[in-house]
Amino acid sequence: MAGYKETPRQKMIAMMYLVLTALLALNVSKDILDAFLVVNTSMEETNETFANKLNDTYIQFENQFQLNQNKVRPYWEKAKEARRLSNEMLEYLSDAEYMAVQHSERKDSLRIMADYYVMKTVPDPYNSRATIEVPVLNLAVVPAKDKYDQATNYFIVRGKAVEIRERMAEYHDAILNLVDSAYRHRIKIGLDTEGPYYDASGNPQNWEMHHFYHTILAACVTILNKIKAEVQIAEFDVISQLYSEITITDYKFSDIEAKVIPKTNYVLKGDKYEADVLVAAIDKTQEPKVFVLQGAVEINENNKSRAEQIAGEDGVVKISWPANREGLQRYAGVIEVRDPEGNTLSFPFQHEYVVAPPSLTVAATKMNVFYVGVDNPVSISVPGVADTKLNASISTGSLNRKADGDGWIVIVPKGQNKAIISVNARFEDEIRSMGTAEFRVKRVPDPVAEIAGQIEGQIEKNTLMAAAAIIPVMKDFEFELYFEVTSFRMATVIGGDWISKRNNGNRFSDEMVSMIRSARRGQKFFFENIQAEGPDGVPRSLNPISLEIK
């Protein structure tokens, strides 16, 4: 064993090794073989736990590098070299394990992988913020796990154990050299290959004979996993020392986040949106003291006693209070934290904001009322709130967003005299009422019946014949509505007799056209009892038309 004081982790590994050595001295019964499997499983779980711990440590190291690249770069480069050396050593040991199983089972590589390995998700050894799938040996299903002849041939006769010992020594020296010579005495790297080692009779042995001569495959795999654990312990101790060498007085942050701090979240069209974008470092292990005083422009010794201390969580303090008073509001505060040497540092701050009453704008975009049976365009907005966060409803009829998302459409039924629109806004996880708006409900006004744009007066005979129809026109009405004339009556005086003709639709009949063609100057034509229907399907009686032939 090593002559230095062992860490708890190394004591645990040594204890497992003693159990393994004791098992090797016994005959390999089923119970002993099962014990090997238990020890190996425990070793694999230890390696997995260490892999996750190492991964977290590298993430913290990288965070420090992102904060101060010039200062941390030399240590970060050495940490990455430590990871490379360890990953290569772990991959080498995994390959040795694989070849030992293949040598013992005498099967091709594809069969070995398919029969005795399972895929498992582990941290990516070259990217601490990602995971990968790797094959892991299921030792319990390997038939030759209780045999030692082929394992001894592979490790001793073919010299693999000697190669492993040499690689362990190379790794030991390479990773220890990453640490400054002044601090190497702090690093307790295991990976001992010098011994001394003895056989059951007390005769001296070298490292490879002691571990792999007449050793069953299950024990060989367990020994390789023990070496993996020692590699990870060495790597952890080295990067921990490198991390501590950055400087003892520097702040150590556990998390880094991107923050956007806008000057305002409410920007008028034509103005500029302005914000500060920065990287914020957070130490979740330290809870800062925060004192806040509403109505103050600064915190000093005279008013600090009146300030409220607000507790934080995970290194972040969130302030919140009811906005009960309208107008400009101010507050000031101070953050107190301890530096790495235990001194209290104070960071003052102040801010101001405006509290305004809930403001809602609901407007019919074409009229100040809703009309029955037509699509009434409506705009709904709340200053400072995105349109996508608004939800509106109506007391009667239907209210829906336009297909293009630009505005709303209201349809109200007949028989109502008013409609009320209610609007809610979503603020994070809270739904808040923004108010209501009331509108009158009216029937669409009657159109004006015209012939050639006239309802009375003189008209050229040819103009009247060319028009040959009554057109309903919506005067001073913004909606694009169409009424259809369903019937009308035309009357005139011919030879002293009153002649009246009725026709369906809006166009003149052939008989009516013939009467107009035969008309004399000054003869009057009357168009009466004009009936029409609009979008609501309700019959309308339109105005009469009186025209005189020029």
- Measuring CA to CA, which residue among 299, 279, 309, 312 is closest to residue 347? 299
**What is d(CA 508, CA 516) in angstroms, rounded to the nearest whole number?**
10
Q: Write out the two tokens for 550.
A: 């020029």
Mean pLDDT of 8-37: 57
- Measuring CA to CA, which residue among 136, 135, 112, 124 is closest to residue 52? 124
Task: Please determine, for residue 303, whether its predicted confidence score (pLDDT) is greater than 90.
Answer: no
Equal fold, 255-355 vs 361-442: yes
**What is d(CA 73, CA 64) in angstroms, rounded to the nearest whole number?**
9
Query: pLDDT digits over 197-223, tens only?
Result: 887 778 888 888 888 888 888 888 888
Query: pLDDT digits over 318-377, tens only?
Result: 777 777 776 677 888 888 877 655 677 778 878 776 666 665 666 655 567 888 888 888
- Measuring CA to CA, which residue among 497, 503, 512 is closest to residue 547? 512
How far apart, in Å, are the Cα atoms of 296 and each of 39, 345, 355?
A: 65, 21, 16
Per domain, the residue ranges of the chain are: 8-244, 255-355, 361-442, 448-549
pTM of the predicted model as reported, rounded to 2 decimal places: 0.45
Q: What is the CA radius of gyration of the chain?
A: 45
Task: Please determine, for residue 224, whether its predicted confidence score (pLDDT) is greater than 80.
Answer: yes
Query: pLDDT digits over 309-320, tens only?
Result: 877 776 677 777
Query: pLDDT digits over 364-392, tens only?
Result: 555 678 888 888 888 888 876 777 788 89
Percent of the chain with pLDDT over 70: 81
Contact 126, 86 (CB under 8 A): no
CATH number of 255-355, picked from 1.10.3470, 3.10.20, 2.60.40, 3.30.1490: 2.60.40
315: buried, middle or exposed (CB in 10 Å: 19+, 13-18, 0-12)? middle
Task: Please determine, for residue 113, whether its predicted confidence score (pLDDT) is greater than 60.
Answer: yes
Give the position of tokens 């407007």: 363
Task: Please determine, for residue 487, whether its predicted confidence score (pLDDT) is greater than 50.
Answer: yes
Contact 369, 440 (CB under 8 A): yes
Structure confidence at residue 393 (pLDDT) = 94
Architecture of domain 361-442: Sandwich (2.60)
- Measuring CA to CA, which residue among 54, 18, 60 is closest to residue 39? 18
Which three-class secondary structure state does DSSP give residue 349? strand
Longest dimension (CA), the chain: 152
Structure confidence at residue 3 (pLDDT) = 39
Query: pLDDT digits over 249-296, tens only?
Result: 555 565 655 555 656 555 444 545 566 655 566 666 667 778 888 888
DSSP 189: -
Long-range contacts of the stretch 436-440 (C-beta < 8 A, 24+): 436/360, 437/360, 437/362, 439/364, 439/368, 439/369, 439/370, 440/368, 440/369, 440/370
Mean pLDDT of the chain: 81
**320: alpha, beta or left? (left if phi > 0; alpha if psi -120 to 50):** beta
